[in-house]
Amino acid sequence: MTLKNNFHKNQKESNKILKNSINFGHYSGLSKESKYLIASLILPSVAFGMFFTDISYFLTVVQGLSSEFMGVIITTMGVSAFAGSIPLGIAADKFGKRKILIIGNILSSLTIAVIALSINPLILIIAAFLEGISEAAVLASTSSLLAEKCNSVQRNAAFALYGFTQSLAFGIGSFTLLAVAFFERLGFNNQNSHIILYVLLAILSLLSTLIMFKIKESQILKKPKTKLRDLLPAKSKSILYKYVLTSAIIAFGAGLVIPLMTYWLKLKYGVPDSISGPILGVSSLIIALSILPVPYLAKKMGTIKSIVVTQSISIVFLLATPISTNYIVASSIYTIRAFLMNMATPLTQSMIMGLVKEDERGVASGITAASWRLPNAISTTIGASLMGAGFLSEPFIISAIFYSLSIILFWIFFKSTKMPEEKSSNQKN
């Protein structure tokens, strides 16, 4: 009888674990506001899933621009995103995060269409600059607004659901490149087929602004701050310094290869974007599934340890990607790398929003976005130049070195850090 009771007890415990990790009970109870925010970003993410997957291929193979100029365009986006992130984060805290989000989404949607419709170098540079500004506006407002719309207990789940929908939408965006072949069958040439796809997705992204109007405006600073020194996050600066350093290092490593995968697959295996885009779309869909169990993983292992373990294992698969025998193997290994690496993304976003003070979240979002975009953009130019010169393995090796350095520093800085929700959990126990 005792054995039978123990069996049933163990079975119930197993079912409970399975329910938490697969049925995702952590996601119940999220506020309507947070759901509106996450939903409003789905269509823009579809558009940018296509855009960032294809931009390196589109500018070089379709539009006939050089790999060096393509790198300049992507770097311009990153530099302007860097330049705009902190001021727009400050503006989000001072004037309202929803306002900044809406402005950013409208601008980003329009720039996708402009980049598709023009081959004029000056117009492309201006459009790339404005795309970076719009990206900064969205990034500086989204994380802080989402953190505001949920409590500390719900925060990991909210950011995980946000990460899931983003990855899913990015994957769908990559799959939309299949539409190029559909438009070609209708009689359009390859270039015009790409342009039609870009413009259609830009329009859909623009329409999502309507959902953003359903979100209540964020809390605005009660006491206006006039000095720049007062606007910067003085209370959270110690945490931010450490986070920014590790984020910037890993961003530089990522920029060497991640934004260039369609271009790399073309150079390495001769694969067109109509094939590589959907392959990378599968990667994004798998990433999306990997994110859903993240709140349960963080609860069991702790937020910091979960980040370090998943990112560390991913480096092995990063190094294995360029030595693959064909594009199917390379894409499969790359997908495993992305699966592991991106499990940590919502946790790092949630972590920094949980550690900084509430009235500094907007500018903190801006600073963290800036710490990512500038080094990521700079290294993308380096990676594009290396690949264009025929060095197809070296960017992956250099990337792995930077990833490793970042993970080691992150562990040194944050290994003793306890999140607010982990402290309250320990107190209850």
23-43 per-position pLDDT tens digit: 445 556 677 888 889 999 999
| Euclidean distance between the first and the last CA atom of the chain, given in angstroms as a whole number | 31
Q: Are 373 and 136 in contact (CB under 8 A)?
A: yes
Convert the pLDDT of each residue in 252-274 to its tens digit: 999 999 888 888 998 999 988 77
- pLDDT band with cut points at 50, 70 and 90 for residue 228: very low
Which tokens sit at 200?
Answer: 């259609």
Q: How far apart are CA 153 and CA 132, in angstroms?
A: 33
195: pLDDT strictly greater than 50? yes
Q: Are 359 and 223 in contact (CB under 8 A)?
A: no
Environment class of residue 310 by beta-carbon count within 10 Å: exposed (0-12), middle (13-18) or buried (19+)? buried
97: pLDDT strictly greater than 90? no
CA distances (Å), origin 50, targets 64, 175, 194, 284, 295: 19, 8, 11, 11, 28
Superfamily in which the 32-215+234-423 domain is placed by CATH: MFS general substrate transporter like domains (1.20.1250.20)
Highest mean pLDDT among 58-72, 210-224, 244-258, 287-301: 244-258
Q: How far apart are CA 195 and CA 59, in angstroms?
A: 11
Q: What is the pLDDT of residue 420?
A: 60
Nearest to 134 by CA among 119, 161, 158, 115: 115
Q: What is the pLDDT of residue 246?
A: 92
Residue environment code for 154-183, b if the CB has 16+ CB neighbours within 10 A, otherwise e:
bbbbbbbbbbbbbbbbbbbbbbbbebbeeb
Q: What is the pLDDT of residue 124?
A: 94
421: pLDDT strictly greater than 60? no
**Mean per-residue pLDDT, 284-291:** 75
**Mean per-residue pLDDT, 105-121:** 94
Q: What is the pLDDT of residue 415?
A: 85
CA distances (Å), origin 208, targets 108, 162, 203: 12, 16, 9
Measure the CA dihedral 366/371/376/379, to 10°.
150
3: pLDDT strictly greater than 60? no
Q: What is the pLDDT of residue 306?
A: 86
Which tokens sit at 336?
Answer: 């495993």
